[in-house]
């Protein structure tokens, strides 16, 4: 079966790439060796993809941020999206320009990541997780299915974020001026399923937040918190 | 790069439109001036799109509701989807017939909106938000990322709904007959990140619901509630 | 309007099928009679589809699991995805190989289902719901919009799971060895909007979990629980 992909003449493909049906590779894209791109995937101008990368069907890779008259933060020119080697990207994923993804990282289906995000090596971003702009995620981090990582967040190495955890970065919810501040989650912390983190919270190293907890204050390193509002329980 | 889009001969396009690769513009679609349609977007029959609109790649615009023998509410004939001017729509979005979207409104990637929904002007519907049928959303409303707006809801002007807020409209969860009733959220109210609203709840004007709160009773205008179940705290 | 679909010569289509624009039907796919496949849908090798099935635009049907060096569970060869008759599948859906879907079941837009999942007849999986691997879902089950069903779960017949319910299956969140255990939800139980179920929980037959509850212990049959942590209230 021949491919019907559209590949811009200025795009550069490495050896032994497989490009799916009706895929679109736009101007100036650079793709390494042995890259597999699914049917209908769209690789937008300037995107840089390492070797041994897989990109699922129907994904949109390297999107320029859109805006309108209501959105406060206006887009600035962004560097290209840069994807390391041995990265796996699912189907129906949307990735913006101005993202860097480290080697060996895995992004599930329906993931959505905004501009100005860095993700380290060997991390996992679960299906349908959404990551907002101006966020740094370390290496060997697990962000499980459906997590919402707000903008202006810091997630250090080896953190585990359970399914459907939610965060926010706007203390006054648009009602007063506020400097956006997402959570800071220190190395090796673990956040349980469907927990809620309020703006600007710091979760200390190796702290544990129980499933369904609502975290309204900083959590010291090594502490376990549960409940609404979250409060410490003795560690075992 | 030539486009390979399929455009039905009965479709009408304004001046200076850009249609992406492999896009499909179906029968009777009417598109204004300076509209940009992304690669692989599908514009279904009869959809009416204003001027200066952007539609992202892989979106499905104007879908007829599907049903099966298990779904209770059967589809009725619906008016076309109508999109105002200066509207921005992200990638991988699914919009049904029978929706009206006001001028200047912004819909993020992976948004999904059912039939019989009206959205005013200059509102923002965040990425991966889902809006059910029979719902009215005002102008200058912010519905953040991943919010679930149940069916039969009313959201007035200037409301702020934080990320991942959830709602429901079926008090007995299918176990007894019940008239579906979503929440009513009055002008200028703000709902925190991952809060839960039970069926038929009214949130008064300028009330504030804290992050992670579970709202089981009406919230009077200007009141701040937090916790599970949500209870008032003094305003500052 | 002629279709521009790509249909592999080894694929088999029944009578009166409608295949959308730029759809891709891969090697060895078997499709029954009167099947409607939307624009840009991708049906991957070996998928078996019954009669009177609808598949929405931009969906990816029969995906082989991807992996990388960080994911613990390695993929094994999987049987084809098998879709019964009278099944309706929305737009932008991702379904893996090794799933069986019973007759009359409905899957909303943006649904995502991993391998090794069985779903009975006449069930509804709501929009943007995510179902993980090794899970069994019965017949006449309602899984509402945005629910997260973790891996290794059992959901019996006639269960109702409200919008945005979340679950987990890893008690120690990757910090210690643990046998994955999702919840067991017994026949006719109902789980409220945005409730959280901890790993390995059993919800008894006809039990009711309130909206926003955080369930940390087993819930006996017929019991109603609410709050964080969830505790029983007298039934009416």
DSSP string computed for B46-81: T-EE-SS-EE-TT-EEEEPPP--SS-SS-----PPP
Q: Which residues of A touch B122 (CB under 8 A)?
A: 68-70
Beta-bridge mates of residue B191 = B161, B209
CA angle C16, C22, C26 (to 5 degrees): 75
Is the Cα torsion angle C66, C68, C71, C72 positive or negative in sign?
positive
Segment C84-104 mean pLDDT: 98
Which of A126, A162, A233 is the mutation pick for testing C, counting most C CBs within 10 A? A162
User: B146 and chain A: CB distance < 8 Å anywhere?
Assistant: yes
My answer on whether A90 and A207 are in the same domain is no
Q: What share of chain B is helix, strand, coil (3-state, %, to 5)?
A: 0, 30, 70
- Provide the H-helix boundaries in chain B: none
- Structure confidence by residue, pLDDT tens digits, C180-227: 889 999 999 999 999 999 999 999 999 999 999 999 999 999 999 999
Whether residue B182 contacts residue B164, with contact meaning beta carbons closer than 8 Å, is answered with no
Mean pLDDT (whole number) for B180-192: 95
Mean pLDDT of all residues in C52-74: 84
Query: Considering the domain boundaries, does residue A137 fall inside one?
Result: no
Q: Flag whether residue A88 sits within 8 Å of chain C, measured between CB atoms.
A: yes
- Domain presence at residue A142: no
Residues A116 and A155 reside in one and the same domain: no
In a 13 Å sphere around the CA of B201, the CA atoms on its Cβ side amount to 25
Domain boundary among A83, A103, A122: A122
Does residue A135 sit within a domain? no
Residues of chain A with Cβ-Cβ distance to B127 below 8 Å are 112, 130
* Residues A154, A117 share a domain: no
Which residues share a beta bridge with B185?
B155, B203
Q: Kindly provide the ipTM of the predicted complex, given to two decimals.
A: 0.94
Alpha carbon separation from B175 to A92, C57, C142, C189, C206 (Å, rounded): 35, 33, 12, 10, 10
pLDDT in tens, chain A (236 residues): 456 999 999 999 999 999 999 999 999 999 999 999 999 999 999 999 999 999 999 999 999 998 776 555 566 789 999 999 999 999 999 999 999 999 999 999 999 999 999 999 999 999 999 999 999 999 999 999 999 999 999 999 999 999 999 999 887 777 777 678 899 999 999 999 999 999 999 999 999 999 999 999 999 999 999 999 999 986 55
Chain A residue whose CA is closest to C167: A193
CB B138 within 8 A of CB B121: no
| A211 within a domain of the structure (yes/no) | yes
Is C6 at the interface with chain A, CB within 8 A? yes
Q: How confident is the model over C20-59, as pLDDT tens digits? A: 999 999 999 999 999 999 999 999 999 999 999 999 999 9
- Chain A residues with CB inside 8 Å of C94's CB? 90-92, 109-110
Same domain for A106 and A204: no
- Cβ neighbours around A49 below 10 Å, total: 28
Kindly give, in sequence order, each residue whose CB lies less than 8 Å from that of residue C82, ignoring residues fewer than 6 positions away. Answer: C47, C48, C99, C100, C101
Averaged pLDDT of chain B:
93
Q: Distance from B100 to chain A by nearest Cα, in Å?
A: 18
Nearest to A162 among C66, C164, C173 (CB): C173
Cross-sheet strand order for the sheet of B54-55 = B18-19, B36-37, B54-55, B88-89, B106-107, B124-125, B142-143, B160-161, B190-191, B208-209, B224-226, B231-233
Q: By CA distance, what is C166's nearest residue in A? A: A194
Residue of A nearest to C196 (CA): A212
Same domain for A207 and A102: no
Distance in angstroms (rounded) separating the CA atoms of residues C212 and B215: 9
**Chains with at least 3 CB pairs less than 8 angstroms from chain A:** B, C
| Cβ-contact A32, A48 below 8 angstroms | no
Number of domains into which chain A is organized: 2
Q: Are residues A3 and A115 in the same domain?
A: yes
Neighbours of B236 (CB within 10 A): 4
Task: Give the C-alpha separation, A97 to A186, whole Å.
Answer: 27
Do the Cβ atoms of B24 and B31 come closer than 8 Å? no
Same-domain check for residues A155 and A215: yes
The span from the CA of C221 to the CA of C204, in Å, is 4
Check: CB of residue B209 under 8 Å from CB of residue B230: yes
A79 is a domain residue: yes
Report if residue A141 sits inside a domain: no
How many Cβ atoms are within 10 Å of B235's Cβ, its own excluded?
Answer: 10
- The answer on A115 and A9 residing in a single domain is yes
Quote the pLDDT of residue C171.
Answer: 77
Does residue A133 sit within a domain? no
User: What percent of chain C is modeled with pLDDT above 90?
Assistant: 86
Mean pLDDT of C105-111: 98
Q: Is residue B100's pLDDT more than 60?
A: yes
| B175 touches C at CB < 8 Å | yes
Residues A22, A85, single domain; the answer is yes
DSSP A170-229: -TTTTSS-------EE-TT-EE-TT-EE-TT-EE-TT-EE-TT-EE-S-B-TT-EEETTT
Residues A147 and C130 sit within 8 Å (Cβ to Cβ): no
Which residues, including other chains, have CB under 8 Å from residue A236's CB and lie 6 or more apart? none
Chains B and C form CB pairs within 8 A to the count of 143
Contacts of A144 in chain C (CB under 8 A): 168
Please, are residues B62 and B78 in contact by the beta-carbon 8 Å criterion? Answer: no
C61 at interface of A, judged by CB pairs closer than 8 A: no
Structural domain contains residue A130: no
Close Cβ partners of C179 (under 8 Å, ≥ 6 residues apart)? none
Over residues B49-68, the mean pLDDT reads: 94
Q: Please indicate whether, in this complex, the C-beta atoms of B128 and A128 are within 8 angstroms of each other.
A: yes
Tell me which chain B residues have a C-beta less than 8 angstroms from the C-beta of C90: 66, 94
Structural domain range at position A59:
1-65+73-122
Nearest to C160 among B8, B66, B173 (CB): B173
Same domain, A3 and A111: yes
Specify whether A186 is located in the same domain as A109: no
Q: A111 and A8 in one domain?
A: yes
CATH number at residue A215: 2.160.10.10
Q: Do C162 and B173 touch (CB under 8 A)?
A: yes
């Amino acid at each position: 079966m021949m491919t019907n992909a559209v590949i811009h003449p200025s795009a550069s493909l490495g050896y032994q790439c497989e490009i799916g049906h009706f895929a679109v590779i736009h101007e100036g894209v650079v793709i390494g060796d042995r890259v597999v791109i699914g049917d209908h995937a769209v690789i937008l101008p300037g995107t840089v993809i390492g070797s041994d990368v897989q990109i699922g069907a129907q994904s949109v890779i390297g999107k320029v941020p859109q805006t309108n008259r209501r959105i406060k933060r206006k887009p600035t020119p962004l560097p290209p999206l840069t994807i390391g080697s041995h990265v796996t990207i699912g189907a129906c994923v949307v990735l913006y320009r101005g993202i860097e993804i480290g080697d060996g990282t895995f992004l599930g289906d329906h993931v959505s990541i905004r501009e100005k995000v860095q993700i380290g090596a060997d991390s996992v971003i679960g299906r349908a997780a959404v990551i907002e702009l101006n966020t740094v995620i370390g290496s060997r981090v697990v962000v499980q299915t459906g997590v919402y990582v707000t903008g202006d967040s810091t997630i250090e190495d080896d953190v585990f974020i359970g399914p459907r955890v939610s965060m926010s970065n706007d203390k006054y919810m648009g009602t007063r001026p506020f400097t956006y501040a997402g959570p800071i989650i220190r190395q090796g912390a673990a956040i349980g399923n469907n927990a809620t983190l309020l703006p600007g919270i710091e979760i200390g190293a190796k702290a544990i937040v129980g499933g369904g907890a609502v975290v309204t204050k900083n959590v010291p390193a090594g502490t376990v918190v549960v409940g609404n509002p979250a409060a410490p329980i003795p560690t075992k």
